[in-house]
Structure 1
Amino acid sequence: MAHGETVRSSDNGPSAATATESRFETDVPARLDRLPWSRFHWRVVLALGVAWVLNGLEVTLVGSLASAIQDPRSLDLSNTQMGWIGSAYVACAGLGALGFGWLADHVGRQRLFFVTLLVYMAGTIATGFAWDFWSLALFRAMIGAGIGGEYAAVNSAIQELVPAQLRGRTDLYVNGTFWGGAAMGAVISLLVLNPETSLQEGWRVAFVAGGLLCLVVLCLRRYLPESPRWLMLRGRPEEAERIVSAIERDIIRVRGPLPTPSSNKLLLYRRGGASLREVWDTMRGTHRDRAKLGFVLMSCQAFFYNAFFFTYAMVLTKFYGVQAHSVGWYMLAFALGNLSGPFFLGRFFDTVGRKPMIVMTYGLTGLLTIWTSIAFAYEWFSVLEQTAAWAVIFFFASAAASAAYLTVGESFPLEMRATAIALFYAIGMALGAGGPALYGWLIGGESRSGIMLGYLAAGGLMLVAAATEWLLGFDAEGRPLEEVAKPLAAVVQGFDPVPAMPNGGALPRTAVARQGQWPGSVTQVDGPRRPASPSWQNIGRGETSASIPKGPTLDELNNKPDDLLRRNDLRVDRPNVEPSFAELDQRIDAMLLSSSETEVRVAVLLGDPLPPIADPPGKPGLAELDRQLDAILRRSSETEARVAALVQRLG
């Protein structure tokens, strides 16, 4: 059974026979990962990456044309209002990511490619017709929702379609193309902000033209297939096979015979997409350290980028006296620094490794930002020197930010990949939404020292992210996605997703089972490891991994369940008051039932006779409660040893 899948009762769940029939074996991931780079992969990168170019174009136009939009002859907006408009974009980008990301996991990547792009296109064109602060904020919010959905659907699809040995650099390259669009936006702003051009009309034409370019991207995406990995995990292996076979035939016609795929096949069972409960349980259970890592990487880079990027033009015009029609030149240098980072550093994420490169890029970004913020406050730099310093900083920051999306996408099972990317993107956007408004307020205060404090905070957050990666980062370079994060639909060989019980029913749901631990999941999980289990041979001599006190008090009995939960890496939510005797009795009965269910699952895995489910006595005394707890602790130690033997057998 896949970790995270609830074991259902016989009244509303499949039988063991049905679960067995729903299994299927597939080598789709191995076949995709062994493919050489081909025209198919170029089509994927172009069709999905071009949207990033347009996004960069549109976002840069907002920054470069800020002065034109604020001009009294145009919308006559203040710095603070521009900051709030940026925050509206960021907040709705998070909301759009959540909605469209969930849909991408449940209805498919391909459909979302069109929906998200249409939302983005509508908002961009409408921006050209904005008439006041509120209309501009609304249209920018629409753009944000579309872009948020793009991040979730596109990043998940790219990772699933690109070979494992090239996944890191390709993901960084595609995300980096955003800055190619930013460079284009800077050049366009130089044209539309020409002093001889009407400020009222120039910026409007730029947004309408940028939105219409999305029609080209829509045409390109018509030729992209659905992700075979998504089809495979939705229980549609035949469709996945047809798509992969078509890709292979096209490559063979050009490149000749293909390498033999790995002999490792996945045994899966048919299931739907991951529920929100499964997503939550996976993130707080099996992959909780990866969830912490994704949260820190995404939120820190989001605040850093949003704070700098949405106020860049305002800093140039207010503190360096740059004219509105000249901002594009400085934005061009800024964009080129961002563009070059992923393209120069991307390949090292596949060769040197994810962890050292992420630590380096985040760390250097933080250190350089702190130094530059001090130089800004004390006016050590001219406008050209300041621009050069920022270009160097964002050379590393751009690669770091792209790696955050790569990390989140690789951290979790395929059934919830787009949802996970969307969730962490939304969290990052929510925490980063205050950046533009904060910096807009600081800029409005006309104090360099205040802005320096904001820059110092952003640099400090990047250092925190670097330290977190150092502590919690993992190696994913060159590894199949299914190896980095085991699919929820994966079946352990010889184990039915819903094992049969002696009475013909199914196991009741375990109250305290850790997500991903039972049943059937014997993969290594994140977090602190358990103490070594006793050897199988010593079980009979009474050697256990838990000491059993003699002559217990009621308080000592109450502590025993907590000790057992801690041994199983489970959180202990214990009230501060001591329980009554009846409450303690109920608690122990629930644990005894859970322990019996776990023994049954292990027996199914090992092919042993099924033990009966324990039937706790009705009203035991204090001594009987102590005996029950001792039995639970001993049986838990025995189960640990049997699981260790099972892991060794599976090799």
Structure 2
Amino acid sequence: MAIMQGTSRLDDAAGRALTDAPAIADTAGISARLDRLPATRAVWKLVFLLSLGFFFELYDLLFTGYVAPGLVKSGILTSTTAGLFGTTGVASFIAALFCGLFIGTIACGFLADRYGRRAIFTYSLLWYVAANTVMAFQDTALWLNFWRFVSGIGIGVELVTIGTYMSELAPKHLRGRAFAVCQAIGFSAVPVVAFLSYLLVPHAPFGFDGWRWVALAGGVSACFVWYFRRNLPESPRWLASKGRFDEADAVLRRLEETVARQHGKPLPEPGPSDPIARKAGFADMWKPPYRTRTIMLIIFHIFQTVGFYGFANWVPTLLVKQGVTVTSSLLYTTVIGLAAPVGPLLGYWIADRFERKHVIVFMAGVNIVAGLLFSQASAAVMIVTLGVLLTLAGNIISFTYHTYQQELYPTAIRARAVGFVYSWSRLSAVFSSFVIAFVLKEAGVTGVFGFIAGAMLLVMLSIGLMGPRTLGRSLESISH
């Protein structure tokens, strides 16, 4: 019987895997075996490890807005620009980061498809930690922006890799919740960096500018690289897409054994699944059904960035422009920052209950209303309340679209395709940072939030009219 099982081939149409077979017969078996795994500690541990990497990544990504007042105070940058594309203002610092993110996502997203999710996850983390450490010792706008650009490349690669990695390891029945937990842990970096900025940016501990201490604090993530490397397996879906079935089977067997032991009873039989695409290239993104998805996500990313980073990166500066002191603005943003991980935690309860596209559209509407009200607020309570609401809406959109975009492409090109469409958000952020600085100078805070509202309306239209449904479906069925 064992010999017969070992030599049997699985039916491609049904896509069923025999859990006690000594080898994988087809790629559909990999997908089916992953998707039937119950949510045990072993599965959530993988989610936690990726989430911990996301925490350090977001720390380095989001400290931009919080250290901006310190960079202005130290005389390295100015709060506004001399012209639309001036290189000595806060806008140039934000633009440098997003230029790096653009290169990292559009030009380097293929790395995770070629060399594997695990390797690129760890090496890109080391890259941006090293670059930010060097940046913390710069005294001129030119070199400050250069090293922020270099770190942005590593962060861009990491962003794409983590999302791809997460979508391929999480079973379909908890994929949305896995992303919600990942984002909740990741966005807990926001109150951390906000509080550190509140403590350090207005001062110069040991004669060293406070903003430099904030930048250096993110380097602690390098100490965790060995832990990530040791405990994260390679994606079985990626291994199968490369024809490395024995390795994929070995990874899955170890995971299945641990899950079954924790589950306390035999694992359910794998259900039907479509096979994992083994060959695909850049051109496939422009063929049905992916062409419409690609166009939709490009439009979405161009404009969602305006709403998300337009608030996250500019809120301390916007508050100062409204007459709030630097210290008070950092205190307000610290309180607002406490809400950052709450958005995904709230989203945990809706992640696998409501269609992703509907959640994105609704929260974009909330962003529009809260933003326009924020632009008119002057009382501390109203500023903080609306700031919290904007943060919640933005972060629910964030974890939802990170799940959504990973579901829309096949394994063979998932990182490359998501990197390509995601890169448009980085390109958008480069220009929108200058536009926001210009609008802030010419039309004030009200003008900035009017600009953001228009962008979020286009987000609602693109996703609402062009987005497919994905809830509860396997990655492979969505890709066919």
Q: TM-score, normalised by structure 1?
A: 0.65
Residue 298 of structure 1 contacts residue 425 of structure 1 at CA under 8 Å; is this kept in 2? yes
Q: Please give the alpha-carbon distance, in whole angstroms, between the structure 2 residues aligned to 1:365 and 1:258.
A: 46
Q: Does structure 1 retain, via aligned residues, the 8 Å contact 2:31–2:275?
A: no
Change beyond 3 A, Cα 1:141–1:44: same
Cα distance in 2 for residues equivalent to 1:61 and 1:426: 20
- The 5 A counterparts of 1:176-575 are 176-193=184-201, 195=203, 197=205, 200-264=208-272, 266=274, 271-272=278-279, 274-279=280-285, 281-282=286-287, 285-323=288-326, 325-373=327-375, 375=376, 380-443=377-440, 445=441, 449-486=443-480
> Over residues 438-482 of structure 1, what are the superposed CA-to-partner deviations in whole Å (9 max), with x where a residue is unaligned?
222344x3x5x4432231121122122223322222221221101
Alpha-carbon contact 2:260-2:267 (below 8 Å) kept: no
From 49, 52, 62, the equivalent of 1:50 is 52
Deviations 1:230-280 (A, max 9, x none): 1111111221111111001112222222332334255568x45x322333x
Residue 210 (structure 1) shift: 1.5
Would the aligned equivalents of 1:358 and 1:400 in 2 still touch at CA under 8 Å?
Answer: yes
Q: Distance in 2 between matches of 1:442 and 1:263?
A: 54
Structure 1: runs of 5 or more not aligned: 1-21, 487-651
* 2:397 alignment partner AA: A
2 CA distance for matches of 1:260 and 1:223? 25
CA distance, structure 1, for counterparts of residue 273 and residue 439 of structure 2: 57
For 1:204-234, what per-residue CA distance to the aligned partner results, in whole angstroms no more than 9, with x for missing partners? Answer: 2232232133321442233211100111111
Larger Rg: 1
Task: Indicate conservation of the 8 Å contact 1:105/1:418, yes or no.
Answer: yes
**SS state at 1:461 partner:** helix
Higher RCO by CA contacts (8 Å cutoff, separation 6 or greater): 2
Q: Kindly tell me: are residues 217 and 181 of structure 1, through their superposed partners in 2, closer, same or farther at Cα, counting changes over 3 Å?
A: farther
Per-residue deviation, residues 523-551 of structure 1 (Å, max 9, x unmatched): xxxxxxxxxxxxxxxxxxxxxxxxxxxxx
Q: Distance in 2 between matches of 1:248 and 1:391?
A: 41
Asked whether the equivalents of residues 298 and 424 of structure 1 are also in contact (C-alpha less than 8 Å), the reply is: yes
Aligned equivalents of 1:381 and 1:321: distance in 2?
9
Paired AA for residue 211 in structure 1: G
* TM-score, structure 2 normalization: 0.87
Shift in Å, 1:327: 3.5
Q: Distance in 2 between matches of 1:262 and 1:451?
A: 55
The yes-or-no answer on 1:79 pairing with 2:73 is no
8 A contact 1:56–1:185 mirrored in 2: no
Q: Secondary structure, in 3 states, of the residue corresponding to 2:339?
A: helix
Partner secondary structure for residue 267 of structure 2? coil
Q: CA 1:109–1:268 in 2, change beyond 3 Å: closer, same or farther?
A: closer
Specify which structure has the higher proportion of helix.
Answer: 2
Q: Is the 8 A contact 1:64 1:327 kept in 2?
A: no
Q: Which residue of 2 aligns with 1:30?
A: 32
Contact 1:109–1:153 at 8 Å: present in 2 too?
yes
Distance 1:300 1:76 in 2: 27
- Please tell me whether the aligned partners of residues 26 and 237 of structure 1 are also in contact (alpha carbons under 8 angstroms): no
Deviation, 1:185, is: 0.7
Tell me the SS of whatever aligns to 1:79: coil
Q: CA deviation at 1:422?
A: 0.6
**Aligned equivalents of 2:345, 2:98: Cα separation in 1:** 26
Q: Once the two structures are superposed, what CA deviation does each residue of 1:306-350 show, in whole Å capped at 9, x if it has no partner? A: 222222211222322323x44432222222233211110233131
CA contact (8 A) 2:122 2:225 kept: no
Determine the C-alpha separation between the residues in 2 that align with 1:149 and 1:290: 21
Aligned pair count reads 450
Please state if 1:120 is matched with 2:120: no
Three-state SS of the structure 2 residue aligned to 1:100 is coil
Q: Distance in 1 between matches of 2:417 and 2:175?
A: 18
Paired letter, 2:283:
R
Cα distance in 1, alignment partners of residues 136 and 372 from structure 2? 37
Q: Is the 8 A contact 1:311 1:440 kept in 2?
A: no
